Amino acid sequence: MTPSSRFNKHIFSDRNLNLVIGMAAALIAFLMVLAYLFYGNAKDHLYNVSLHKYQQQLDMDIQGLIKDSRESTMALALALAENNRVQSLLCDDCNKQNEMVLSALLERLAFHTRHRNLWIQVIDKDGFSRYRSWTNKIGDNLKGVREDLRRVLLAPRIYQSVSVGRFSMTFKAMVPLFADDHKLLGVIEVISHFSNLAQELQKSTGVESVILADDRFQQQLDKNQTKLFVDNYYVVNGDANPSNLNILASIGVNEAFRAHTQLEVGHKIITQHMIRNDESLPIGYWFTFSDMANLDLVELERLQKQYLYGLMTLLVLSILLVLLYVFKERSDKSSRYYQSVLDSASEIIFVSDSESILEANQRFFEFYDEFDSLQEFVDAYPCVCDTFANEEGYLTTGVDFKHCINKVLQGDAKQNKAKIYKHRKAYFFEIKIAKINIFDKPLYSVIMHDITHQEVYKKQLEQLSRTDNLTGISNRLVFNQALATEVQRAHRYHQVFCLAIFDIDHFKRINDNYGHAAGDQVLIALTEEVQSLLRETDVFSRIGGEEFTVIMPETKIEQALQSVERVRRAIENMHRDGLPDSVTLSFGVAEISRWDSHETLLKRADDALYRAKRNGRNRVEIAKEASA
């Protein structure tokens, strides 16, 4: 190879290398630009996603607080309804001591629970206020101004709502009070406030809040507590940050809520959340204000703190469990059995070695009063389980005592409850079993706690909550549950069913011309006639004053039309003494589609009903098909 050829080859190699380097540099530069653009887009996207998730999380937190407050308000109302001192406030000569005791109870509740400003009102069966915790004013009749109270007194049942009154926007829970003979004494009402929720949200997340009642309640709030308004919207939480109120005033409440997305003002992020009542109507708005700089870092730090706190809690719990176990071991070895302790207890208590009853307290023989000794009892019933009733949901007979012990100790039983019939009366017991290891052979202490009163009261409340008081058919609660179940079943198994909704034409005229008593008789007679024409599988419910629904499982629209037309004709031709000569019905019928939820199916049927009204009444209209 000549020197010239070697030189040319070297130049060619350098040129190739430079070309590769240049292409690589260009590719790197292109990738950097692409990465920069991608980073910018990804950053914006992730920022928007973070904001969206942040608003969703806040909405979940707010809805959770509202749900918890509703449930805890109802739980307090149910608990106070069992308090004898509450019922004593309804007596004509009740003393001030009971009021003082109840006031002290409220102070303890405020100290130990989330409710810092809890109001309680006791109302007698005639609608007169007998006690108010927030004022000394009593004795006024509330039936004329409280539609919800009239309904509860007319048809006693538990009732809860979220509403705006004269004082503020609050949670209300009402529970009927009954005498021992099941006669209605009155109602206890527990009222809790939204201001507590704003404080809880700030305490748990660091987010500030402004809660507003809708401007249509401005005139109604004549006794409002905070005296604060923004654009005619009442400020529910009086401790709201004034700077946040100024921001809302500068933006405008309507403009702030119509944004439908997060607002960024300065270094603050503002989110909007609607507050609805039980009829899903908007009654207020919850605005949250948080520092934009803390959007990511605060959440991460909070998560790290929660993890650290959780780890420390688990460590402390582990130590406590070890100490508890050591203490229990020592305590069990040093414990002794005293008959006097057992006899002083109000529960049925006995000790067994899993094969026979060794000892029992006095309450055992008071309940099983047909036996004078344990031996007589054991001769008649080898196991105490043999006295239990064979009913679902309770511990049953037909098993040996070892099996019964294992079910309770291992938690196999869904409920450790027993039902016993004695002297033609049902008694309910909660069964608790503890193992005693201080002897060579393990023993078991069994406690049968009498919960008869609680079970009877619970069943009464459940019945009141699920049945329409006037007609005896299912109420709105049962209808909602049944409709949701049928929609889920239809989508899961690709089955069909129809929903019919109907009401009585010109029912107001019946009430105006014949009186409400006649109107009630029309509702009762109509219910009996319709029920006789339906199948056993159909779910017939009253969901409003004169409004009814029928859920028809495994029924196509053609069959449903035949059924409702038969009902329409039967009612049109129905003649009974004491009832108006002509009663007619208007129907809307809808068949489930693949696109339907229970809300859209009900909406389609309801729209068809109103179309039947517009087209002349006393007719059946088919709902329009659902769209994707």
Angle at 225 between CA 222 and CA 228, to 5 degrees: 85
Please return the burial class of 554, using the count of CB atoms within 10 Å of its CB with bins 0-12, 13-18 and 19+. Answer: middle
Which is catalytic among the residues 486, 546, 591, 621?
A: 546
Q: Name every residue whose Cβ is closer than 8 Å to that of residue 3 and which is 6 or more positions away in sequence.
A: none
Tokens 């809890």 -> residue: 118
* Paired residues of 129 in beta bridges: 123
* Long-range CB contacts (within 8 A, 24+) of 226-229: 226/168
Asked if residue 522 lies in contact with residue 504, where contact means CB atoms within 8 angstroms, the answer is yes
The b/e string for 458-497 (b: 16+ C-beta within 10 A; e otherwise) is eeebeeeeebbeebebbbeebbeebbeebbeebeeeeebb
Q: Are strands 620-622 and 585-591 parallel, antiparallel or unpaired?
A: parallel
**In 3D, which of 68, 157, 153, 74 has the Cα closest to residue 462?**
157
Distances (CA, A) of 359 to 137, 240, 350, 624: 57, 64, 6, 72
Residue bearing tokens 């809805």: 63
The whole-angstrom separation of Cα 24 and Cα 18 is 10
Residue-wise over 521-546: b if at least 16 C-beta within 10 A, else e?
bbbebbbebbeebbeeebbbbbbeeb
CA distances from 122 to 142, 510, 597 (A): 11, 35, 41
Residues 359 and 444 sit within 8 Å (Cβ to Cβ)? no
- Name the one residue in this structure whose structure tokens are 């948080």: 290
Is 486 catalytic? The answer is no
* Number of CB atoms found within 10 A of residue 99's CB: 19
CB-based contact 564:587 (threshold 8 Å): yes
DSSP track, 163-185 = EE-SS-EEEEEEEEEE-TTS-EE
CA separation for the pair 623, 448 (Å, rounded): 57
Residue 144 DSSP class: T
- Among 225, 333, 328, 209, smallest CA distance to 275 is for 209
Residues near 142 by Cβ (< 8 Å), separated by ≥ 6?
123, 127, 128, 129, 149
The CA distance from 400 to 375, in Å, is 17
- Structure tokens belonging to residue 476: 């709105």
Write out the catalytic residue numbers. Answer: 546
